[in-house]
Every structure is written in C-alpha cells, then in structure tokens.
C-alpha cells in the first residue's frame, strides 16, 4: 500500500450465533422463543415479544431505563442475557397496571408530573417498585441506593422523588408488585 493511505473495513461476517431456546415466564405468561444466544433480555423483550415498554438507552448498565424485575429483584435487562433468565420470572412495566387500574406508582408519577418525555419512566417505576417492596418507608440513604442507578435527563428528579414518597405513604395497601 502506498504511504499515507489508510484502508479500513472488509471485515468478514460475524461469527455465527448459536440459537438458544429461551423459555421464561414474562408477566405471568410462559414465553418460548428461539433466539441468538447473545440476545440480551432487553432485546428479547423488545424485539421478540413486542414488549416495548422497557426502554434501552445506554445498553451498558448506566441509566436504568431498561430496569425490569427478575424473580422480583431489579436488574438492568441490557446487562442480562436472555439465556440467563431461563425458567425465571420477569416482570415488566406492562404488568404494573391491572386492567384499567393504574399501579399506585403509575398514578403518583402521573399526578406529580414525574414523567416529562417519559422515556426513563418505565425503568424508574420498576426500580421504585422494587425499592418500596424492600423498604416500604425508605430512609434517604435507602432511597438513593435504590434509585441512583436510574438517570432522568428531563425532570431534575424532584417530581420523581415526590411521586415515590407519596406512593410510599399509601404502601403497602396498593396492589402487590406482580
């Protein structure tokens, strides 16, 4: 190659991804799908189950937009492979309202104006549900530990904290987290 010429690309096709037979209980329903083994839980839910309520934003565990409950515990679904959730229970934002009745957190988020663009909202509601399940009356430290993994670019967090605090006051009478 002549000097001061750079050449890029021409890479071969990616290595074949083996197929994984994924079986998982999502929002109370057994789901079975054949997925490339490298599929994350986030993409399994969004691209293969049309459950697009769960959002992806950084896909490296920094923003919490993709938070779902895995056997009741909050996880960043972008960091979990679908294969790791074999026969587990996954709960997403789509399961929070029962019929037309909103979950208490959804109701408080709506009332407090805690959703502006709303992109962070599903993840925040799932993280808050997990927090309040564990600490129905969280101390400021418990609150921050439960919520600091979720980024919101729009609201400045005040209305979100307010909504979660108000939901906590009516906890645990509300419908249980599924």
Nearer to ligand FES, 83 or 160 (CB): 160
Under rule CB under 6 A, residue 57 binds ligand FES: yes
3-state secondary structure of 106: helix
> Among other proteins, ligand FES, none, what binds residue 150 when CB lies within 5 to 8 Å by partner kind?
other proteins
> Among ligand FES, other proteins, none, what binds residue 44 when CB lies within 5 to 8 Å by partner kind?
none
> Among other proteins, ligand FES, none, what binds residue 106 when CB lies within 5 to 8 Å by partner kind?
other proteins
CB-based contacts of 143-151 (< 8 A; 24+ apart in sequence): 149/63, 149/64, 149/67, 149/76, 150/63, 150/64, 150/65, 150/67, 150/120, 150/123, 150/124, 151/57, 151/62, 151/63, 151/64, 151/65, 151/120
Binding characters for ligand FES, 103-142, by CB under 6 A (x = yes): ------------xxxxxx----------------------
Among 17, 28, 37, 58, binds ligand FES (CB under 6 A): 58
The least CB distance from residue 67 to other proteins, in Å, is: 8
Under rule CB under 6 A, residue 154 binds ligand FES: yes
- Using CB under 6 A as the criterion, which residues of the chain lie in contact with ligand FES when the complex forms? 56-59, 61-66, 76, 78, 115-120, 152-155
């Amino acid at each position: 190659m002549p000097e001061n010429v750079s050449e890029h690309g021409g890479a071969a096709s990616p290595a074949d991804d083996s197929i994984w037979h994924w079986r998982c209980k999502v929002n109370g329903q057994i789901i079975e799908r054949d997925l490339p083994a490298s599929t994350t839980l986030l993409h399994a839910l969004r691209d293969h189950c049309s459950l697009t309520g769960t959002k992806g934003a950084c896909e490296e565990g920094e923003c919490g937009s993709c938070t779902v409950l895995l056997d009741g515990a909050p996880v960043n679904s972008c960091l979990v492979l679908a294969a790791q959730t074999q026969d587990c229970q996954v709960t997403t934002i789509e399961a929070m309202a029962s019929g037309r009745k909103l979950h208490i957190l959804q109701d408080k988020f709506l009332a407090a104006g805690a959703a502006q663009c709303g992109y962070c909202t599903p993840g925040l509601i799932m993280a808050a549900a997990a927090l309040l399940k564990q600490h129905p009356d969280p101390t400021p430290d418990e609150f921050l530990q439960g919520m600091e993994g979720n980024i919101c670019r729009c609201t400045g967090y005040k209305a979100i904290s307010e909504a979660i605090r108000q939901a906590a006051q009516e906890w645990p009478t509300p419908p249980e987290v599924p």
